[in-house]
A and B are shown apart, each in its own frame.
Chain A
Amino acid sequence: MTGGDPLAPERAISVAGAPDGVRAVGPVDEGELTHLLQHASATSQKVAVWGGGTHRRIGYDEPPDLVVSTLGLAGIIDWEPDDLTVVVGAGTTVTDLEGELGTRQQSAVLAEWPGGGTVGGAVASATSGYRRLRYGPIRDRLLEVRAVTGDGRVVKGGARVVKSVTGYDLPRLYTGSLGSLGVITSVCLKLWPLTEAVATVRVDTPEAAGAVHRPLAVLETREGVTVLLAGTAAEVQAQLSALGGAHRSCLDYPPPPTGEVSWSIRVRPSLLTVAVSRLPPGSPFVAQHGVGEVTFATTNSFEISDLRSWAEESGGAVVRVAGEGSADPWGTPPSTLPLQRRVVAAFDPARVLEPGRLPGRI
């Protein structure tokens, strides 16, 4: 810890995309963050936690008094390739991390279209990527988390081993917490070896993917349905034979749909085809079959309420993931709101970190 003062005038930085006129700072270690957040708590300053700025549109948008960039917390801290784990600073971009891991034929299977997004942002926003059908959501791949709480306490949860039941599961609690429980400073992630062979196959229906055991992803867009395969050369060849159809020997990840606003529909997987049938005509979308998520883009005048009512009545949700709009970004908050509020207060008593951003405006 340097214990430097990131609030010193000469340390002011500019953060692309941050609101105009709001002070932005870039702490470089946990000591500086502690100092910064103690100060913010003492002076009741609302803090926005900013990585690559790629997930800012998730949740309610409360104007901050201070923008804290995590880009100064970048870099691989510990990587033992034979353990298939990596400890990485939260401000490391997904692209940089995956690039480095790729030099040893490994991957953290983070989102395939990360933009300038950071590893900390991927965890804080619970962004899992298309390959979660095989590798699970990001919350299942996070082994250890370190964070500085709203009142400046440095806390760690989990362990740097692939299997641990030592204490409460803070890594999962921090996953998707959107900065409200603390500024994540580093994480330990589980890695996977990149496979020998890959392929993308076009099929007629999502159900056709049932011919193969555990594909990497089954994705549907306006252009049709593809099954993504990965494994040994013989395995991929056998799966290609089972599926038939045209294929390419690469992983063809569709880009995220873009428009004035993007929504994520989350329902149990068997309802995905119904969800797709309810999308506004012509809107670009990516449906992750087997997972239960459809992301689609539309105009900000699109009325989300019918779709949302249907999803919520089916036990799911419709959540804004990008863009602008007047519609509520979360919909109905969870029934455990009072408990959620207590948990947030335990980590951020003065409620300075992303106040109001979570469902229920916690």
Chain B
Amino acid sequence: MNFGLIFDALLVLPSGIGLTLTLTVLSLTAGFLLSVPLAFARAFGRPSLSFTVLAYTYAFRGTPMLVQLFLLYYGLSQIEAVRASIFWVILRDPFWCALFTFSLNSAAHTTEILCRGLQSVPKGVVEAARALGLKRLQIARLVTFPIAFRISLPAYGNEIVGMIKGSSLASTVTLLEITGMARQMVSATFAPYEIFIVAGAIYLALTSTAVKATQILEQRLSTDGTPKQRRKARLRPALPDHEITTPVP
């Protein structure tokens, strides 16, 4: 173990954090915005519509993101029509291409997560809202979605962590985020061990922060117990006694 190299890595690798976070935040945001209408369509839409959304989420959740990335990055660019189209402006750039893949992937996962949440919203609540004279869109916006979001939050937390980790795949299409920087450093120093450990520690810090943040949000949105109990619960340690986790499938 070479401590000089570890120190070098500690100085160099953080410059990749910006790109990792940009990719993660933008693809999570785009994925979330895309997934809200899709989740409603999947949960409450006509059978044909629901099935179409399922086909999309199934394909994206059933294949490795690395394959999706290469398919969109190298595969699409092979088609002349794509290169001639307006989309090429976006797909030409590795950053946008990676972002596009990650967003579609995240949207597929988030759709299923939110759909499960929407389906778990108690029927009585919706009926009560209807009895109060709320319109369909109002019910969706003010009643169904907030409850579904709260139910989905633990699973969505896993999606956030999954996306931080998944963004490391961007290194395979020439982007220099944390893993890309690490691989470039390894190619110059031939010392994979020290550098990958530092990269791992940086990711661990990022994912732990994300886990903690979702837990705080969960506590804040929680309706169990008194406000005092909820504040107290926020101070509990992260992860260990977290309730049963379903990894992002």
Does A pair with B?
no
